Structure 1
């Protein structure tokens, strides 16, 4: 597996998953496994586009669930071929939605997997609808825990802050 900076990877074809992937929890794992499966069926590399820190931690000071090093290791274990690790900082925040689409276009994605609440670009002006105007974006149903609640990094953070690690750990799925 190779790790790249933004704008440094160009591919003739790929299948891509984009997101913060903080925690690489069971929901993230399902998305990444589906992306890797699709890339293998298509005979093209799998690419995860993610960030060195989650936007939520940047803006809100939220607890980070996985370091970049741990995140990379977990994704490698899931069979990902390439990771684009964007430096989420003030400069990155100035990029427009069109800048982001242009960068992702360098990967020539056959499909892009994102969460239904995915936003991108300066002031979050880009969304799944805009992404679908440029790329094939198949729907991904949310992964739910045994109690029927959606598995999310926010939920895991809340459980940890409440001292409920025994409830958070199964949601991560890798500890």
Structure 2
């Protein structure tokens, strides 16, 4: 692993060969996202090509589309870690800017999928949209694929799995329900200085006491005024929230 993840198309090493691309927002790497990635990994093994999970930051809905809660379910570093644990060889993070939002779907395919990643296959969720005003979809990928040298694969959604649902479950305190969607406990990253200070975009449950798995064993932690407070050694750390106390 050369890096935690590639920052933009310029981060992809020169001479990068053919690859299978798992394309999506993947903002939580929940069980539905994992199904998309698993299909990409299977194709990668069949074709002898590395798998590149390609995602966006910030969430596209912060710039395009209707306003909604887009707080990250997982940090970029955690997403990359999870992607690799589920079989991705590399992770490409594209900055979702006004410029990218105005890029046509055809230009996105040409620049990112063809010239940068040299895709031999592109795997997405069946509802994934991309390009200016969301004009690109799986049907367009199938149409463009033959001339661009890749096959397009749409993976059906996993019922009851969405990042929106995870946000709702965590923010209402249902950590067990969130874990069922994620396929793992909800993780919060922070830096401890007597207490863990979490950024305002971190997804936290309501104020109260919670049971958590930490690098130092199981502990009780508390959420107060947007902070996660825990008796842990100072420094960067992460805790998995598993339930109420």
Report if TM-score (shorter chain) is over 0.5.
yes
Residue pair 1:14, 1:109 contacting (<8 A) in 2 also: yes
Q: In structure 2, what is the equivalent of residue 5 of structure 1?
A: 7
Q: Which moved more, 1:86-95 or 1:15-24?
A: 86-95
Q: For 2:71, what is the secondary structure of its paired residue?
A: coil
Runs of 5+ consecutive residues of structure 1 not aligned to the other structure: 145-149
Q: Which residue of 2 aligns with 1:73?
A: 81
Q: Which is further off, 152-161 or 18-27? A: 152-161
Q: What pairs up with 1:81-160 in 2 under 5 angstroms? A: 81-103=89-111, 104-106=113-115, 107-135=117-145, 136-144=151-159, 150-160=160-170
Task: Tell me the TM-score normalised to structure 2 length.
Answer: 0.64
Q: TM-score, normalised by structure 1?
A: 0.87
* Number of matched pairs: 170
Measure, in 2, the Cα distance between the counterparts of 1:164 and 1:125.
Answer: 36
What RMSD over aligned residues (CA atoms) do the two structures have, in Å?
1.9
Point out where structure 2 has 5 or more consecutive residues left out of the alignment: 146-150, 186-245
For the 8 Å contact 1:57–1:64, the answer to whether it is kept is no
The one-character-per-residue Cα deviations of 1:100-136 (angstroms, maximum 9, x if unpaired) are 1112112232221111111111221212211111222
State the 1:43 CA deviation: 0.5
Bigger relative contact order (CA 8 A; separation at least 6): 1
Higher fraction of strand: 2
Contact 1:53–1:68 (Cα < 8 Å) also in 2: no
